[in-house]
Structure 1
Amino acid sequence: MNRRTLLGLAAGAFALPARAQTLDRPVRIVVPFAPGGTSDILARLLAPTLTQSFGHNVVVENRTGAGGNIGADLVAKSAPDGHTLLLIDVSTLATAPSLYARLPFDLKRDLAPVTMLIYAPYILAVHPSVPARNAAELVAYAKANPQRVNIGHAGIGVGNHLTGLLVAQHWGADLTQVPYRGGAAALTAVAAGEAQMIINGATATAPFCKQGTLRAIAVTGPARLADFPDVPTFAELGWPAAQSGTWQGVLAQGATPPAMVNRLATDIRAAMAVPATAERITALGAVNKAEGPDSFRTWLDAEIEVWAGVVRANNIRLD
């Protein structure tokens, strides 16, 4: 091998990281839930800024079904080049390995955490027809009407479904769990009186409560929400799953080069910090949790174990 060949190989080796970070065509953000939910709201909020950062159009694509797994599988089987991303409630994604015996993808192998985005607490809300204006009255009503209180949720096995199971057990109430195709569909159903109760992310649920279409009874998270100062937290009430909520994050195909993952994480975190975006996130009742890939992976691994325990305790399987 001559000197020119060796120099050429060396130059190629040093050029690899740069090529690995290049976005040369439109980027697709796959949201595995219907339009109008927290993931969809966040994806469409970030898309314009990311279009500028990436230098190419960012397109939001909704691929619904199987509690988010259809969209996740699409990204898991995409090219590992950073052009197809998954924006999802990652606490819901974390339940998949314990819920499904035969997932079409391996969460730890086929999806690479890029960055966490936000944490938004859940709001437990009821339709105005429910004769309960506070937590104590709701618990009493639910216990006095077994199987007559329908609680809508975003799909079997997702985070708000499991939180609802834990709350019902704690109350000693027999609620009828009603799955919908995503949080937006569940919200619409409860607002229409098709179901009487919902536990759902504050980002999507708060507007319904402000309009009076739903009545907020309690919230998860470390503190009361500024827009609902009279609504107590689960922790204040002594309810379980007090810190549950919707944790939104972005993942890429599992074999995406680390240089590309880091580039995506940097650009997305910068988009989250744009003042108009940051203000909008705060107004939606969410907290910016954007962070690097390593801390996101550590969080996700721990979350998988936490929800596996809940799934086992409730004997939930989806095969």
Structure 2
Amino acid sequence: MSLLKSIAAAAVFAGLLAAGSARAEFPDRMITLVVPFAAGGSTDVVARIIAQRMSTDLGQQVIVQNVAGAGGSLGAGNVATAQPDGYTILMGTVATHALNPLILKQKPYDAEKDFAPVSLLVVVPNVLVVNPQLPVKTVPELLALLKADPDKYAYASSGNGTPLHLSGELFKSMAGVSMQHVPYKGSGPALNDVIANQVPIMFDNLPSSSGHIKAGTLRALAVTTPQRAPSFPDVPTIAESGIPGYETYTWNALFAPAKTPQPVVARLNAAAKVAMADPAVAERMKEFSATIVASSPEALAAHVKAEIAKWTPVVKNANVQMD
């Protein structure tokens, strides 16, 4: 080998070593995990549990930053335009990556093109609940009631365009029934009115309804996931209760900005998987019926695509558009 070729080969080898070293050094400073909702909700809880455990694995602190507003689009938009270096990441949900892109007239980001998927972490069931005074104990009984008097009954949700609103619209569409939608400014006020029998029916996140179900102030008719929730094994699914194929749930996933280097995405994915495999983390997730997934980036990308495809006709049929 000539001297020039030897020098060139050595330079290439040194470059590869340097690149490998640079990749190995990620992260070398604090990482910000943006939660696009206010503190205290289920997404915030999941984020804080994960951030603490990922900090240990990564050797750098992962801090949670709540950036609420525009149904999650404000925080998600901030991450979409952040430096693609892995130091600003997002706790995304069905709202940020499936519903908002379909509902908002002004699109602050492209849910598929503007993010690098990292991992689908958990899925959390929704639950169909009714006031105990409503004379139904099963989904078939509810369907019979709604079909007998189509204009009489209403369901509450946490707001227009929210996953809980659209869970109701999907239910109506697939079951061929009619209910008036009554939107509230959050799940809490909606639950209060269902418990008070102001509105008799609601789709809610299982964690926020579970205490009321156990206390008997709400009656759970069915969960919305394909499988029953481990915390309520006697509550059937909507799919097994007469509406085959019905499936909705809340989910939490990690995203980085688009063009984040693949080795950085891989390191974040590995840290997320380590976190989700921790028995202490698994125990915390079980407390609110969250099912651990800990997917690959590719599986998360496919999941987002499937969620957008599922919700597109629901949003169109419900004629939901927001500024």
Shorter-chain TM band = 0.7 to 0.9
Which SS does the other structure have where 2:34 is aligned? strand
Which stretch of structure 1 is more off in the superposition, 295-304 or 125-134? Answer: 125-134
Equivalent residue, structure 2, for 1:263: 267
* 1:245 and 2:262 aligned: no
Match of 2:182 in 1: 177
Alpha-carbon distance in structure 1 between the residues aligned to 2:68 and 2:192: 17
Report % sequence identity. Answer: 35
Q: Displacement of 1:71 after TM fit?
A: 1.4
* 1:11 counterpart (11, 14, 27): 14
2:90 to 81, 86, 90: 86
Q: Distance in 2 between matches of 1:186 and 1:81?
A: 40
Residue aligning to 2:280: 276
* 1:35-91 CA-partner distances (Å, limit 9, x unpaired): 333211211222221121122222222222222111111111212111222112236
List alignment gaps of at least 5 residues for structure 2: none
Give secondary structure in 2 for the equivalent of 1:95: helix
**Aligned equivalent of 2:118:** 114
SS of 1:218's partner is strand
Any idea what SS the aligned residue of 1:285 has?
A: coil
Q: Which residue of 2 aligns with 1:151?
A: 156
Mapped partners of 2:199, 2:239: distance in 1 = 25
1:117: how far off?
0.6
Number of paired residues?
316
TM-score by length of 1: 0.85
Distance in 1 (alpha carbons) for counterparts of 2:196 and 2:7: 73
Q: TM-score, normalised by structure 2?
A: 0.84
Counterpart pick for 1:309 among 307, 310, 313: 313
Q: Is residue 23 of structure 1 aligned with residue 43 of structure 2? A: no
Q: Is the 8 A contact 2:156 2:201 kept in 1?
A: yes
Q: Take 1:213 and 1:34, find their aligned partners in 2: how far apart are those partners?
A: 27
Paired residue for 1:104? 108
How far residue 137 of structure 1 moved from its aligned partner, in angstroms, is 5.0
The Cα offsets for residues 131-176 of structure 1, whole Å up to 9 and x where unpaired, read as 54443554466665847634122x4333322111122343523322
Structure 1 residues 32-181: aligned runs within 5 Å: 32-90=36-94, 93-128=97-132, 130=134, 132-139=136-143, 144=149, 146=151, 149-153=154-158, 155-169=159-173, 170=175, 172-181=177-186
Amino acid of the structure 2 residue aligned with 1:19: A
Quote the RMSD (CA, aligned, Å).
Answer: 3.0
- Separation (CA, whole Å) in 1 of partners of 2:107 and 2:55: 32
**1:290 corresponds to:** 294
Q: 1:202, CA displacement in angstroms?
A: 2.5
* Higher radius of gyration, 1 or 2: 2
Instruction: Provide closer, same or farther for how the CA distance between residues 256 and 290 of structure 1 changes in structure 2, counting only shifts above 3 A.
Output: same
Whether the 8 Å contact between 1:90 and 1:249 is mirrored in structure 2 is no
Aligned to 1:300: 304
Judged with a 3 Å threshold, the aligned counterparts in structure 2 of structure 1 residues 124 and 23 are, in CA distance, closer, same or farther, namely: same
* Contact kept in structure 2, 1:34 and 1:184, CA below 8 Å: no
1:80-139 deviation digits (Å, cap 9, x = unpaired)? 111222112236522233223431112222211100011222111234565544435544
The letter of the residue matching 2:306 is A
Q: Which amino acid aligns with 1:89?
A: T
